[in-house]
Amino acid sequence: MSAEYNFYSEIYKDLTKKSCDTRTCELLNAVSKIFIEFHNQKEPPSSCVIALAANSGASFSSSAASALNCITDQHLLLDTISHFIEENYMRSACHILSQYKKVPGFGHPSIKGEDPRVNLLLSEFEDMHGPRTSFCLYLNAHLPVEMNIGCAISCLLLDASLPADSILYFPLVGRMFGWLKIFRDTNKKFKKVVPSNKLLSYD
């Protein structure tokens, strides 16, 4: 397909004012794809909200709006992680380790040990590792907890010249399709809750 009609190429060009090469487009696609479904992990809160909204009879747009309200700095920390990396990758990693008791981008509330998605992404795009990814890999080798998927995404996209405040966009593209799948499956498998106004008697 011509780059002229590539969705990720257009978004990248708009955000960075640069052309998007093939490997960068592949990286953006991989990041979005990771967030479509969670095969071996617990579904995040946004998935539950989508299912509940769908079961209550809401449209997909209304359900997706509700799910977006779950994407906060307490749930999907990509903004926090991206800014942490961008502000600190030029500093001594040893200084960071001594300064922070908890380092943004390391550890996960429900995944203990290595996250296979992290290893897949970092190994698949090893040729795109830059100073930010190297910084995170050094921290990963010296911390008692593992790098999480938010950190892997953030450092790779930052090294690909994307601005820190735009990193969250790409996982959300994939998550939107994941929400659509949950919405459709919920509507197929479950009867909708009857709205309260249908139960009221006006006689």
Query: Where residue 158 sits, what CATH number does that domain have?
Result: 1.10.230
Flag whether 100 is in a domain.
Answer: yes
What span, in angstroms and rounded, lies between the C-alpha atoms of 181 and 37? 9
Residue the block writes with tokens 């290595």: 114
Flag whether 66 is in a domain.
Answer: no
3-class secondary structure, 147: strand
Residue the block writes with tokens 């593992």: 146
Flag whether 90 is in a domain.
Answer: yes
- Structural tokens at position 195: 């709205």
Partners of 147 in the β-ladder? 106
48: left (phi over 0), alpha (psi -120 to 50) or beta: alpha
Q: How confident is the model at residue 166 (pLDDT cuts 50, 70, 90)?
A: very high
pTM of the model: 0.85
Flag whether 32 is in a domain.
Answer: no
Burial tier of 49 (Cβ tally within 10 Å: 0-12, 13-18, 19+)? buried
Residue range 46-50: mean pLDDT, rounded = 88
Q: Please tell me which residue, 43 or 48, carries the higher pLDDT value.
A: 48
Residue the block writes with tokens 């998935």: 47
Q: What is the tens place of the pLDDT at every residue in 74-122? A: 666 889 999 999 999 998 888 888 888 889 999 876 677 788 899 999 9
Q: Which domain holds residue 153?
A: 77-167
Q: What domain count does the chain have?
A: 1
Flag whether 63 is in a domain.
Answer: no
Flag whether 190 is in a domain.
Answer: no
Flag whether 134 is in a domain.
Answer: yes
- Structural tokens at position 63: 């359900």
Flag whether 62 is in a domain.
Answer: no
